[in-house]
Amino acid sequence: MLKLGVNIDHVATLRQARYQGKAAGEPDPADAAIICEAAGAHGITIHLREDRRHIQERDVWSIREIVKTRLNLEMANAPEILALALKVKPEIVCLVPEHRKEVTTEGGLEVVGQLKDLIDTRKRLNDAGIEVSLFITPDLRQVEASAKAGAQFIELHTGAFAEQFHEPEQRHGEIQRLVIAAKRAHEIGLQVNAGHGLNYQNLSSLHCVPHLVELNIGHSIISRSITVGLHQAVQQMLRLMQNDAA
């Protein structure tokens, strides 16, 4: 069954809009994690960015304490954050590229060009019992390099698919890229997740991508929670995912 990891970064975005620099404030992403799990989410995802624009270090610890499913920590391959991850011990770390000026994670990780560094980090995380995922664009060179890096998972960047969703020809092209990348990843022993820009409208078009284990979805679920509540928003997404699989 296709699993759902809910990315709760934007709960913290809302809190930081009012309580930046304060030791506490509302809404608390840890409360959101509890609701997502109660609604049936299979995991909780958070991104501790180097600029701390949403999730703070204290959130990482409090969320670690309450998550009962599995915690996926997205992070840049940076020494300070790696040291923290090794202490916090999420079940899985997803390594992502990070640029300070971007609104959200814009590209995929350049695995080919950073293979040696990524192997070192992957080994350190695996030695601490943490699985490793690499967030990459659906590009066969990056898929092959991810296997060479020894990652357990890749997360296919669905941002281009989401952007082209309303252009049938381009959308078809992006879906084909995802299909080809997922097939190759599966062949060479990688587990395949996907995420970025997925929402209640575009999700169904992804059902033809094979071998998907988990989708990581944030913005659309947190946005919908403002009108229907977080529990409902998570359940609506889960129902969509189940209908597509049926």
Active centre residues (catalytic): 47, 74, 196
Q: Which is nearer to ligand PXP, 47 or 184 (CB)?
A: 47
Q: What is the DSSP string of 14-80?
A: HHHHHHTTSS--SS-HHHHHHHHHHTT-SEEEEE--TT-SS--HHHHHHHHHH-SS-EEEEE-S-HH
Q: Residue from 73, 196, 205, 212 that binds ligand PXP (CB under 6 A)?
A: 196
Min separation Cβ 155 and ligand PXP, Å: 5
Q: Which of 219, 231, 240, 244 binds ligand PXP (CB under 6 A)?
A: 219
Phi, psi of 86, deg, nearest 5 = -65, -25
Q: For strand 131-136 and strand 212-217, is the pairing parallel, antiparallel, or unpaired?
A: unpaired
**Tokens 């997205």 correspond to what residue?**
74
- CA distances to 11, 62, 104 from 226, rounded to whole Å, are 11, 23, 20
Position 135 contacts ligand PXP (CB under 6 A): yes
Q: How many CB atoms lie within 10 A of CB 126?
A: 15
The least distance separating ligand PXP from the CB of residue 196, rounded to whole angstroms, comes to 4
Smallest separation, CB 140 to ligand PXP (Å): 19
Judged by beta carbon, residue 35 or residue 133, the one nearer ligand PXP is 133
Smallest gap, in angstroms, from Cβ of residue 169 to ligand PXP? Answer: 23
For ligand PXP, the binding residue among 20, 26, 52, 104 (CB under 6 A) is 104
From 51-59, 173-181, 193-201, 237-245, span contacting ligand PXP (CB under 6 A): 193-201
Pick one of 4, 92, 94, 154: the residue that binds ligand PXP (CB under 6 A).
94
Neighbours of 23 (CB within 10 A): 7
Asked if 47 touches ligand PXP (CB under 6 A), the answer is: yes
- Rule CB under 6 A: say whether 217 interacts with ligand PXP: yes
Which position has the token pair 């996907």? 194
Q: Which of 216, 225, 230, 241 binds ligand PXP (CB under 6 A)?
A: 216
What are φ and ψ of residue 77, in 5° steps? Answer: -80, 75
Residue 198 interacting with ligand PXP (CB under 6 A):
yes
C-alpha 201: how far from chain center:
19
No. of helices (H) and no. of strands (E), the chain: 10, 8
Q: Is 59 in the site for ligand PXP (CB under 6 A)?
A: no
By CB under 6 A, how many residues form the interface with ligand PXP?
19
Task: Give me the residues that bind ligand PXP (CB under 6 A), please.
Answer: 7, 9, 47, 74, 94, 96, 104-105, 135, 155, 195-198, 216-220
